[in-house]
Amino acid sequence: MEIFVKYLLGYLLLRSIIFNVVGILRSLFVFTWVKVPVSLTYTNIEESPAVEGVKLYEVDIWYSYSYETENFISKQFAFNYSNSPLLLLHKITMKRLNNRKQIFARVNPKNPNQAVLFSGVNFFHIVNLCLPIISGPYQFVEVQAIKKIS
């Protein structure tokens, strides 16, 4: 059983790191897309129901933009963004948007329905990448401690 737990935690850690690195690379690739001005139509930080006593927060942003005489609406504002219990992270994201005089999105010229507000490496990319690296070994130590107690 102990070997299974080691491999499972290792697999989950590796999968999470790969997922986040791919998201960072996608976010950097977005710089090749066309930059267009957007209008925010809706912004909010939403609270999800508590899971085991932990509240999760998610930024909900809707924006409209025009590309080659067509109008579009999107809610994707970043790659690899996910809800989390870190409310401060979401407030920083909203503050970054509110402090901009003009907001731009990057639009995929091959598929204008696909757009993203935040390009490049962002704070939440770093947090999402660091959390599994920190929590993976911690979870293994926790499993070892539980094993010693029982």
Length of the chain: 150
CA quadruple 121, 124, 128, 130: dihedral positive or negative?
A: positive
Separation in Å, CA 41 to CA 47, 62, 65, 104, 126: 19, 5, 10, 14, 28
What is the model's pLDDT at position 136? 58
Q: What CA–CA distance (Å, rounded) separates 72 from 53?
A: 38
Quick one: pLDDT at residue 93?
79
The pLDDT value recorded for residue 113 is 93
pLDDT tens, position by position, for the chain (150 residues)? 567 666 766 777 777 777 777 777 887 788 899 999 999 999 888 887 766 777 888 888 999 999 999 999 999 888 777 777 778 878 887 888 888 889 999 999 999 999 998 877 666 666 666 666 666 565 555 555 556 665
pTM for the whole structure: 0.68
DSSP string, 97-145: HHT-SS-EEEE-TT-TT-EES--S--HHHHHHHHHHHHHHHHHHHHHHH
Exposed/middle/buried for 32, CB within 10 Å: 0-12, 13-18, 19+?
exposed
Rg of the chain (C-alpha set): 19
